[in-house]
A = this chain, B = another copy of it.
């Protein structure tokens, strides 16, 4: 079982024991302002480490930014025993893990997720990635972090919308993997701490069974085929979309496709959709299939020239490698757009 969840104390101990020749902290301008001081409070020895700052947002997951980071490493003669601490949300964790995994064929890295989304999802499980032009996460590896430190003190620094953004992944993992968790979650019976803890343990269980995503792990992509395509469309847009928002819309559409393929009954489909809409309640953006199409056709899960999706089979149960036609996606988008207009 992969379990690389750790603590500030253990990190401090390792650094004091001189395991690392140099320590860098990767952050964005927000986490530099709000989270670095908290981190220094927790692990004072880190005040002497080097800070690398990137702009917040998806556009930092680019090659140009990676080159800047690697050049900084080289200029500072960072060697194989260098540690990179990724302090931030999904973007910082994805980007930092990617840079660490390639530099000199891999240096150690610690993820300290500061957003709900990164705590529940991005920082856990070893996937990293950057975008190629606006094809999301087209490049990456699977490489487990040395350790991951989860602390809810960082959540206080976040706007409320970020909490909801992260909650989407909790809803997703409940829906694909744990009926009871889905019930508790949707009836508002859990604290934020409990939600984070349960979501992480479910994700780690799935990742441990299939770390390199040969099979089972694919179910974590529920909502993400449409979700990633939406994000790709919006990357260069003035109007921004959050990852959680995109996956939320993706889940509604992919639940409809699960129903079209008779994997779930009409009653379950209606109930799941209604629950998602009422519990998460993001504004639904109108979706055009034509704009999504190039990204759907390049989705990482595809094979045999077909779009492959994760679909629901029940509450807490999902299957993967379902070939889905553009017609089926179109039908689901029509259904979705009708709700969007109605809202």
Contact = CB atoms under 8 A, between A and B. Distances in A.
Chain A interface size, under 10 / 10 to 19 / 20 to 34 / 35 or more: 35 or more
A141 B303 contact: no
Contacts of A146: none
Interface stretch (A3-11, A100-108, A269-277): A100-108
A199 to B, nearest CB: 22
Interface stretch (A73-81, A163-171, A190-198, A244-252): A73-81
A232 to B, nearest CB: 11
A104 B304 contact: no
B105 A304 contact: no
Interface string A187-222: 000000000000000000000000011000000000
Nearest to A135: B74
A180 to B, nearest CB: 32
B105 A71 contact: no
A188 to B, nearest CB: 36
Contacts of A141: 101-102, 105-106, 141
Contacts of A142: 105-106
A261 interface: no
A325 interface: no
A70 interface: yes
Given A74-B132, A105-B141, A138-B74, A81 B303 contact: yes
Nearest to A127: B105
Given A63-B67, A71-B132, A132-B74, A80 B300 contact: yes
Among the interface residues A79, A101, A139, which one has the most CB atoms of the partner chain B within 10 A? Answer: A79
A302 interface: yes
A42 interface: no
A297 interface: yes
B138 A80 contact: no
A103 B137 CA distance: 9
A316 interface: no
13 contacts: A21-B304, A63-B63, A70-B138, A71-B133, A79-B302, A80-B301, A80-B302, A81-B303, A101-B141, A104-B139, A104-B300, A105-B141, A106-B142
Interface of A: 21, 63, 67, 70-71, 74, 77, 79-81, 101-106, 127, 129, 132-133, 135, 137-142, 212-213, 297-298, 300-305
